[in-house]
Structure 1
Amino acid sequence: MARSLRIEYPGAVYHVMNRGNAACTVFHTQDDYQMFLDLIKETIKKWDISVHAFSLMPNHYHMLVETPLGNLQRAMRHINGVYTQRHNRKRKKDGHLFRGRYKAILVEEDAYLVELLRYIHLNPVRARITMSPQDHKWSSHRYYLGNGELPWLATKRLLAYFGRRPNLARRKMHKFVLEGVPEGLERRLKGANWPSVFSSENFEEWIKWNFVKDIEDREIKYESAEPNKIDEKELIKIVSEVMNMSWREIANARGREAKLMRGLAIRCFRNNIRYDHEKLSSMFGNIHPTNISRALNREPEGYEHIWERLQIEIQNAQNAKRKT
């Protein structure tokens, strides 16, 4: 059986999970849990990753990991390998601790990320380790609520989805988590067959175009390509020409029509260059991440002709690049 698809590129975000070999215990004591958290901190420093969420249970763990350098495999090899060494040395054992390779789902941003934050934070509740997520000492939920400090944990990006003011964002995030995981997501992540990509159709198309020759054939060797088929300067030029507006007018939109045009431009940059919310916000007048999400989810009603022309011009630019 072929291994599941593994895709790496700078800025990719993953839901990562691994379980003890034959469901064995991997965290026996409080010291073991702390040893793993210390190792995450060490890995962040060594491999320049970001960890947005985690949950540790006696026989497995979940993490939400961002890789600015596109190096998930190196980082996870370090975490799993070094923890196994330290665990076995402590107990005078040898052999495998984890059951083979970790599982990893490549995650599209925004709503998908916060859904997985909820899924990860509710894991101890599903496992009946605790009645409420904030009571589990070894998950990031309590830190998102401001109960304790963990300097290496990256909370700002996902909290921003719930509001600008930290206290209000924490309350909204907690309420969102307590509402529970949607049945469809629970079903999708249950069992052995995790999806390789958790995303919208547009994101999956982008993955296919950039990384996979034939996504249905799991036996082939997948080769990464350069993620950006079109650069920022080119895309700004195309968007400005199609909309017949200066970039400044688009980025700093004033008025309903200009804001709708800005929304189409945001979708272009998200779909074609994969800019995250932080980058999109800085490009478009520092608008709030919630407004970015609205722009990405809004259909171009009334402006379908502009959206279609944008797609044609972008496709033409990409085709020209392929020929060079």
Structure 2
Amino acid sequence: MARKARLKTADAIFHIMCKSISEVDLYRDSEDKEKYLSLVKKYKKLFNVKIYGYCLMDNHAHLLVDANGADISKVMHGINFSYAMYFNKKYKREGHLFKDRFKSKIVDNDHYLKTVSLYIHNNPTDIAEYKDCPEKYSFSSLGIYVGKRRDLFNIVDYEFVMGFFGNDLDTAIKNYYSLVFGCDDEKLKEEFEFQDEKTEYRSGRNVLVRKFMSEDIIEFIASKMSISKILLNTKYSRKLVHAKALTIVLMRNLGNFKSSDISGMLGNITQARISKLNSIGIELIGSDEKYESIIEDFIRFYA
């Protein structure tokens, strides 16, 4: 049977849940959870999305993600595929790790946004050690929300959600924390187990419109790396690997171009090569100080 098309829209906020297959825990130790959060940080930066909250349990994860104009499927595929590769290598296993695709629900109004945030942060109360103090659980963003822990991965944009709970931060923290414990109702749990998907939600948030022109991206990379724009159309050139790799990353993430489109723009390179170069570009942005802010630099220049 064909899978139902995922309901998504570029300016939506999504409640995401990922589960492992039944016989395998998604995270076996703290190192695994830290690795997953490092990947969330990497792809948050790469796609310029916003993370409003998270909670990683042993066999599943919750994320509250503002797509900010990005394709949520690309974001989650990048995170989960990279994590599965890490997990299988570490534990010397093969095969699927995640149960089907990730599940997603579009947050369709302010009330739902507040409630799902509280629900996500209520999850650690299922662990005996944290039943009365979920804010102490290291792999939930609740501690960050209520000022008990620093955001070590620098990934949580909590101010937007907290703004619904009080006119000042101290009031918001008190209100938020008291309400977390009211989200263990069974009816609420059923609601958040993704029986159906909501319609789209548009709020007053500023959303990044990802309709940048290929010519702008090519011109920016050529200027940034001091090369001729014409050279980017050269099919075979080892000297231009990094330039092409970064061009492809920007085209895929900020222009939403397909591989077939990019192929014609960069010397008719194969789709397999485009995928390889995209991986190289992502690695460059994550590891080379010269390029770590290249996406933000481009957005500031052209937005």
Asked whether the two chains share a fold, i.e. TM above 0.5, the reply is: yes
Are 1:147 and 2:74 matched, yes or no? no
Shift of 1:167: 1.6
Find the residue that maps to 1:21 and give its secondary structure. Answer: coil
Aligned to 2:260: none
Corresponding residue for 1:12?
Answer: 12
Matches within 5 A, 1:123-138: 123-126=123-126, 128=128, 130-131=130-131, 132-138=133-139
Partner of 1:237: none
Within 2, Cα distance between the matches of 1:159 and 1:99? 32
**1:43 has 2:35 as partner:** no
User: Which position in structure 1 is the counterpart of 2:182?
Assistant: 179
**Does the Cα contact within 8 Å between 2:121 and 2:140 map onto a contact in 1?**
yes
- What amino acid maps onto 2:155 in structure 1? W
Given that 1:115 and 1:181 are in contact with CA atoms closer than 8 Å, whether structure 2 keeps it comes out as no
Q: Tell me the equivalent position of 1:189.
A: 192
Aligned residue for 1:53, secondary structure, equals strand
Name 1:162's counterpart in structure 2: 165
Q: Distance in 2 between matches of 1:121 and 1:128?
A: 15
Most deviating of 125-134 and 92-101: 125-134
Query: Amino acid of the residue matched to residue 172 of structure 2?
Result: A
Distance 2:162 2:2 in 1: 37
Q: Do the aligned residues in 1 keep the contact of 2:27 with 2:33 (CA within 8 Å)?
A: yes
Q: How does 1:237-256 map to 2 (within 5 A)?
A: none
Query: Structure 2: how far apart are the matches of 1:53 and 1:164?
Result: 20
Q: Give the match for residue 232 of structure 1.
A: none
Deviation for aligned residue 1:20: 0.9
1:307 corresponding residue in structure 2: none
CA-atom RMSD in angstroms = 1.9
Aligned residues: 203
- Kept in 2, the 8 Å contact 1:103–1:194? The answer is no
- Where structure 1 has 5 or more consecutive residues not aligned to the other structure, the ranges are 198-203, 208-273, 280-324
Taking structure 1 as reference, are residues 127 and 15 closer, same or farther at Cα in structure 2, changes over 3 Å only? farther
**8 Å contact kept, 2:108–2:202:** no
Q: Which residue of 1 aligns with 2:257?
A: none
SS of structure 2 residue aligned to 1:79? helix
Residue of structure 2 in register with 1:260 after alignment: none
**Residues 61 and 109 (structure 1 numbering): CA distance in 2 closer, same or farther, change over 3 Å?**
same
- Which amino acid in 2 is paired with 1:10? A
CA contact (8 A) 2:47 2:70 kept: no
Q: In structure 2, how many angstroms separate the alpha carbons of the residues matched to 1:127 and 1:87? A: 24
Partners of 1:61 and 1:36 in 2: CA distance: 10
Instruction: Find out whether 1:276 has 2:203 as its counterpart.
Output: yes
1:100-124 CA distance string (max 9 Å, x none):
2111011113110110011111112
Q: TM-score, normalised by structure 1?
A: 0.59
Highest CA radius of gyration, 1 or 2? Answer: 1
Matched, 1:66 2:66: yes
1:55 equivalent in alignment to 2:55: yes
With 22-31 and 151-160 compared, the bigger mean Cα shift is at: 22-31
Cα pair distance change 1:120/1:23, threshold 3 Å: farther
- 1:266 aligned residue: none
Structure 1 residues 26 and 183, CA gap change in structure 2 (3 angstroms): closer
Deviations 1:54-90 (A, max 9, x none): 1101111111111012310000000110000011112
Over 3 Å counting, the alpha-carbon distance change for 1:23 and 1:4 in structure 2 is farther
| Higher RCO, Cα 8 Å, sep 6+ | 2
3-state SS of paired residue (1:27): coil
Cα deviation, residue 185, structure 1 = 2.3
Residues 106 and 128 (structure 1 numbering): CA distance in 2 closer, same or farther, change over 3 Å? farther
- The 8 Å contact of residues 43 and 79 in structure 1, kept in 2 or not, is answered as yes
Kept in 2: contact 1:23–1:59 (CA 8 A): no
Q: Distance in 1 between matches of 2:103 and 2:23?
A: 15
Question: Is the 8 Å Cα contact of residues 53 and 141 (structure 2) preserved in structure 1?
Answer: yes
Residue identity over aligned pairs, in percent, reads: 26
Per-residue CA distance 1:205-231 (angstroms, 9 max, x = gap):
xx5xxxxxxxxxxxxxxxxxxxxxxxx
Contact 1:20 1:26 survives alignment (8 Å): yes
Cα pair 1:51 1:65 within 8 Å, conserved: yes
In structure 2, what residue type is equivalent to 1:87?
A: F
Contact 2:12 2:202 in 1 (8 A): no
Write the distance in 2 (CA, Å) between the matches of 1:111 and 1:166: 19
- Provide the rounded CA distance (Å) in 2 between the counterparts of 1:173 and 1:277: 22
Q: CA deviation at 1:128?
A: 4.5
Q: Distance in 2 between matches of 1:7 and 1:111?
A: 20
Equivalent pair of 1:54/1:121 in contact (CA under 8 Å): yes
* Paired residues of 1:21 and 1:97 also in contact (CA < 8 A): yes
TM-score normalised by length of structure 2: 0.62
Give the structure 1 partner of residue 95 of structure 2: 95
2: distance between equivalents of 1:70 and 1:60?
A: 23
